[in-house]
Structure 1
Amino acid sequence: MKNQKGLVLVFALLVLLSITILGVSSVSSSLLQTKMASSLERKSVAFDAAEAAIAGVVFESEDETVLSDPAITDPLSEARQGLVLNMAVDEMSCFDNNRIRRDVTANGMTMTTQHTIAAQFSDQGNVNSWSQTAFVREQACRGSSNVISGSNIKCHVFVVRGCGQSQGSSYAVANTLTAAVFAPATN
């Protein structure tokens, strides 16, 4: 009988050990899932910031007051005057200092304004939002009517890269828009 009491004690310790291991693995798995969800949320907010940056360029480029005021320029007009982006050779990075930059803040977009002041896009997770705009080429407009193709109008092609970066992150989430704008030919 004394041998059986010792065997029950060993069996009870093995059951407690297995329950402890199961509990520790459950807590570890839960912590890992929480980290993954948090990372996914930060990337999602950064992507929203990148999308807002692209929308900001479109917004500012369509602002009638900006377009009619010779003292301020829209990002597409500035990019047209800047360095040409050769898509076969050049890369366009969110951290490129040679491109036209616009920032989107938590205050949103304001008419009659160049959005060049960097500030937080979102206080939730401290996210920055900005765009880089570059001129690519001037080309004949495809799919347009004969009236346009016979005139002195060309399509000016631009690349707009929207960027969003969470605080503490070494990378930026980016999205790209290619836009063609009717404009007078330069030749």
Structure 2
Amino acid sequence: MNYPLKQKSSGMVMVFALLILMSLTILGVSSVSSSLMQSKMATSMEKRSLSFDAAESAIAAVMFESEDEILLSTANLDDPLSAARGGTQLDLTVQSISCFENVTWTNRVLTSSGLSAGTQHTSAGNYTDKPVVKSWSRAAFVGEQPCVGSSNVIGGSNISCHVFIVRGCGQLDGSNYVVANSVNASVFAPATQ
């Protein structure tokens, strides 16, 4: 007579064991899924960070070239801001500087060989090779306006500020997006009016 009771208790233990096993399986799958998602997010953030660094470096390269005394004193070369001043004026009401539009604006490329004095950085190449990241800039002349602040003391009416927008762009090879950052730059220059 004790035999049927023994079978009943063995069945209950098996049901509890299966429930615990199912709970542990769900917990394990959930943990693995969460880990994979966090890994993907970390990889994405790393790619964006590399692209952002390339974009920031492209802006710094334009500033480097614009302050390069060798480049400024060489007659047949011009810095990016001077080239942009001589090119198409950007009308902010109808235009914007795109990282993909490379005809209208002054373009520079920053490669893994770095920056050298007296050089227009226009040759093709990668910013880094491991991983492959591209870095380039666009510069456009926005307009001439009266300078504000201490510049009024310097120049009076014969000096104005020439305003430029410089956009730095960075892209990881194989990525579907480009990271861009922009900076406004003002340069003291003789007034044209």
Q: TM-score range by the shorter chain?
A: over 0.9
Q: Which runs of 5+ in 1 are unaligned?
A: none
Please tell me the root mean square deviation across aligned C-alpha atoms, in Å.
1.3
Distance change >3 Å, CA 90–CA 16, structure 1 → 2: same
Q: Secondary structure at the match of 2:77?
A: coil
**Which residue is equivalent to 2:86?**
81
**Distance (whole Å) between structure 1 residues aligned to residue 124 and residue 84 of structure 2:** 19
Output one character per residue of 1:19-54: Cα deviation in whole Å (capped at 9) or x when no partner: 111111101110110010010011111111111000
1:149 corresponds, among 149, 156, 181, to 156
Of 38-47 and 138-147, more deviation after overlay is shown by 138-147
How many residue pairs match? The answer is 186
Provide the secondary structure at the position in 2 that maps to 1:186.
Answer: coil
Q: Does 1:116 align with 2:122?
A: yes
> Is residue 44 of structure 1 aligned with residue 49 of structure 2?
yes
Range that drifts further, 48-57 or 115-124: 115-124
Query: Which one-letter code corresponds to 2:172 in the other structure?
Result: S
The C-alpha deviation readout for 1:137-186, integer Å capped at 9, x for no partner, is 01121122344023x22211000011111112222111111011011222
Q: Quick one: structure 1 residues 147 and 6, their matched pair in 2 at CA, closer, same or farther if it must change by over 3 Å? A: closer
Q: Unaligned stretches of 5+ in structure 2?
A: 1-5
* Alpha-carbon separation, structure 2, partners of 1:173 and 1:149: 40
Cα drift, residue 7 of structure 1: 1.6
Q: Does the 8 Å CA contact 1:104/1:121 hold for their aligned counterparts? A: yes
Question: Per the alignment, in what secondary structure is the counterpart of residue 169 of structure 1?
Answer: coil
Q: In the TM superposition, what are the counterparts of 1:82-97 in structure 2 within 5 Å?
A: 82-97=87-102
Q: In structure 2, what is the Cα distance between the partners aligned to 1:82 and 1:148?
A: 25
Give the 5 Å matches for 1:5-154.
5-97=10-102, 98-143=104-149, 144-150=151-157, 152-154=158-160
Structure 1 or 2, whichever has the larger Rg, is: 2
Deviation at 1:127, TM superposition (A): 1.2
2:140 partner amino acid: A
1:176 corresponds, among 170, 178, 182, to 182
Give distance in 1, aligned partners of 2:154 and 2:68: 27
Quote the residue 2:3 is aligned against.
Answer: none
TM-score (norm 2): 0.92
